[in-house]
Chains A and B, each alone.
Chain A
Amino acid sequence: MTSVLLALFLQLSVGSSARDSLAANIASFSQRFNFTLPLIVVLFIFMFFLLLKSYTMETQESAATTDASKPNGEGQKRTAKTVKKVKAGT
């Protein structure tokens, strides 16, 4: 994503003639210059939602194993590991 953002930055920050040739070079990516920004915005929103999904899903996973003494189930996970170790005699 950083490279896409950098490409946009370069495309917009260079002079108009250079920008036109740069835009022509990435014609397969975007036929029209005006199309680039909305596309980047849509891509960005899509990636942000993917990230948000992973980030927030952790709540549901940990909610089932929440130990009140530790935040968000951290303690429970460790306890479960400890129980396994105890059972295995280690």
Chain B
Amino acid sequence: MALLEEPIKGVPVAKNYIDGEWVESKGEIIDVVNPVTCETIGKVGISTKEEIDSAVQAAQTAFHDWRRTPPVTRCRYLFRLRELLEENFEEVSRVQTQEHGKCIDESRGETRRGIENVEVACGIPTLMMGDCLEDIASGIDEYLIRQPLGVFGVIGPFNFPFMIPLWSAPYAVATGNTVVIKPSSEVPFSQTKITELAEEAGFPPGVWNMVHGGRTVVGGMLEHPDIQGITFVGSTPVMQDVIYPGCGETGKRCIAQGGAANIIVIMPDCNVEATIPGLMTSFFGNAGQRCLAGQTLVIVGDDDSFYNDFVEKVTDRARNIRIGYGLDESVQMGPVRDVQKKESILNYIEIGLKEGATLKLDGRKAKEILGGYPETCFLGATIMENVSREMRIVREEIFGPTMGIIRTKTLDEAIEICNESPYHNGHAIFTSNGKAARQFQYDCISGNIGINIGIVAPMAFFPFSGMAGSFLGVLHTQGKEAVRFFTESKVCIHRWL
């Protein structure tokens, strides 16, 4: 099938956007590589400490006037941004596919989810309202006002280059704060495009800033006394060892979202035909690189016939997944982001085999890559049977297109397996039994629960929850919780003498 047109052309350099100006970083310039073609499609600077300081200073300066801009006016900038994102829907989706490798359907899904956050933040005049109670004692009234705090840092991951910073940034600016966004340097162009549109939407200089880079930028954000809080989505080790303690040491607010190793439970009464596409999306969508991906499939019951038939159907479907460049509309799975990530996934498959798992479907080498692209970053779907709950391929995050299958006799045992996982991000159950579904929802420890949904991605007006190894903090990104995170509650008691 013919490819959709690539939007990134001519090896551009992704620049920083500081105080309303586009500036090339003075730091090291590195290549941005399309994982499908392995060609350099652009370049990006690894910004310096001075550059992040300069962005924070611009944001701090802009905060003074921005917080005084009425919420109803602030949200009009977001309405405009929302319109521009819609107008550029297809282009921004293709940018994601070109720099990340995901399929075009997946990129459009990411675009939609990002825009929905801008839409929710457009309701800030209502969302940000405080509370009031007259006559808490005779002649005395009490109010609660939500006030912005200042500059916030937003640190995005490589796997959802467009959407994830939008879980935070629209709420931050809508509530009167200013932001400095650091996209992943592996995939800088999606955020660059959003920032171009934010500029076109007319945000005053310094309100919306973007600084590309790596550890230096993250360290600069953590240390900076003028940054009031940070939202982070990335790996659990960085979340636990760098972001959360770093915010704690400097008294910053923190939303830190980490990794996951989600478990999908299959009851023998599930609707098999509808369940299998859900499993394909859950385990192999985005090439498994998402914190809501299924990693372990737990099949409940001792009916061998159901088990064998179900696993056969899942394997057949996975074996025939079309692999290639996501700008080919027929492609169902793209590559993983880079060779190092591929090696890590291959290593986990080896660990699984050493620990006693057996290969039902070997995806270590992609069977066929449509378009004849180099196999450098491609993997096929891998399915392993004879997996047990203590194995590392169950307990650690693989972040790739793999499925490990465990059998249990009862739902209770399946829930135990979910609950002993170090991660609790998005476990799910497929069943047609309401009682089993309720028990799962009630007893399973997980920030997000799916009932006949394999990817438990909350809509923008709900918080993106997560627990244990998947999350550190109190409030979450998106919706009302984001509004709470980005504002301080100020209580005023009035008595007029």
Tell me if chain B binds chain A: no
Residues of B within 8 A of A (CB): none
Residues of A within 8 A of B (CB): none
